[in-house]
Amino acid sequence: MTPILSDDVAAALSAGRPVVALESTIISHGMPWPRNAEVARAVEDAVRDEGAVPATIAVLDGRLRAGLTEADIALLGQDETVVKAASRDLGAAVVHRRHAGTTVSATMRIAALAGIGTFATGGIGGVHRGDGMDVSADLTELAATDVLVVCAGVKSILDIPRTLEVLETLRVPVVTFGADAFPAFYTRDSGCPTPERADDPAAIAAMRAAHRALGLGTGMLVANPIPASHALSAEHMDAEIAAALAEADAQGVRGKDVTPFLLGRLNAVTDGAALDANVALVLDNARLAARIAVAEAGTGSWA
């Protein structure tokens, strides 16, 4: 199935210029209107500032799309009928002509179909705390699809050590940019050492090229710690996260509703501080992904 590309994304891909995929669940289910649409545009601008072309990915009227208009982003940001689609939800979204914000897994799948190899997001899903049975399809997709994903680590709404273990099992390289600790989204240090570290985008592009040459077929996870100026207090966030998890449990929130519920609660209880941190890290991830894509285009490693 071939995604519909915007003109600028199509032109960049056919000329071998750097392109960065961006997800849309963060717009539809991760941030409140109208901040979500403002951030989506700012993230696209951040990618352009670094010399790459942004390709925000979504499903609109059942069509897989890469490269959206202002009106598309506004629809994703406020239309109540927009669903959250992971990879396995894409077929039904196409058949039923749905609008869908795509999670990391679904965005990776569509990026791969479009020939886009680099992708920026805020945080990926992972192994949830508890019995270890709620595992995001983001991890499964990273195991199956050769797309590089830049994130700010994973939130401690998840079990971070178990998430790193699963990534190891699935043969997904994990590289942290400029730090020895794997980051925890709102904070720069999860307490877990990073499996690999790289200090510049060219080093990440080189690791990626070597990884691809091995033919494993898996993606790669790049963790970019939140800028220190925007990092939140770990003790404070741990307490808020514990309260949000207890509330989700008490209200019987299950399945794909869990992550959006927790994000919404954290944004509400921190009086916007969590949202501001989220915005800062997404912008920073978009810049880093663009710099990696530029480095890769220069070496022709994603040809």
Residue 79: count of CB within 10 angstroms of its CB: 12
Residues 6+ apart with CB under 8 A from 205: 292, 295, 296, 298, 299, 301
Interaction partner, residue 284 (Mn ion, ligand PSU, none; CB < 5-8 Å by kind): none
Return the number of the residue (74 or 151) whose C-beta is nearest ligand PSU. 151
Interaction partner, residue 118 (ligand PSU, Mn ion, none; CB < 5-8 Å by kind): none
Shortest spacing between CB 276 and ligand PSU, in angstroms: 14
- Alpha-carbon distance of 142 to 137, in angstroms, equals 8
Return the number of the residue (163 or 194) whose C-beta is nearest ligand PSU. 163
Say whether 155 is catalytic: yes
Say whether 165 is catalytic: no
Interaction partner, residue 276 (ligand PSU, Mn ion, none; CB < 5-8 Å by kind): none
Shortest spacing between CB 137 and Mn ion, in angstroms: 8
Return the number of the residue (43 or 160) whose C-beta is nearest Mn ion. 160
The residue with its CB nearest to Mn ion is 134
Shortest spacing between CB 31 and ligand PSU, in angstroms: 8
**Cβ proximity of 116 and 21 under 8 Å:** yes
Shortest spacing between CB 136 and ligand PSU, in angstroms: 3
Return the axis-axis angle of helices 258-269 and 234-250, rounded to nearest 10°: 130
Token pair belonging to 241: 């996260």
Return the number of the residue (109 or 297) whose C-beta is nearest ligand PSU. 109
Q: Please tell me which residue in 23, 141, 240, 296 is annotated as part of the active site.
A: 23
The answer, yes or no, to whether the previous bond of 34 is cis (omega within 30 of 0) is yes
Q: Please tell me which residue in 50, 141, 155, 296 is annotated as part of the active site.
A: 155
Per-residue binding letters, 131-170, with Mn ion (x by CB under 5 A) = ---x------------------------------------
Q: Return residues touching ligand PSU (CB under 6 A).
A: 23, 25-26, 30, 86, 103-104, 122-125, 136-138, 155, 185, 256, 259, 263
Interaction partner, residue 153 (Mn ion, ligand PSU, none; CB < 5-8 Å by kind): none
Shortest spacing between CB 259 and Mn ion, in angstroms: 7
Task: Tell me the one-letter amino acid at 282.
Answer: V
Return the number of the residue (12 or 137) whose C-beta is nearest ligand PSU. 137
Catalytic residue numbers, as ranges: 23, 155
State the residues that interact with Mn ion by CB under 5 A. 134
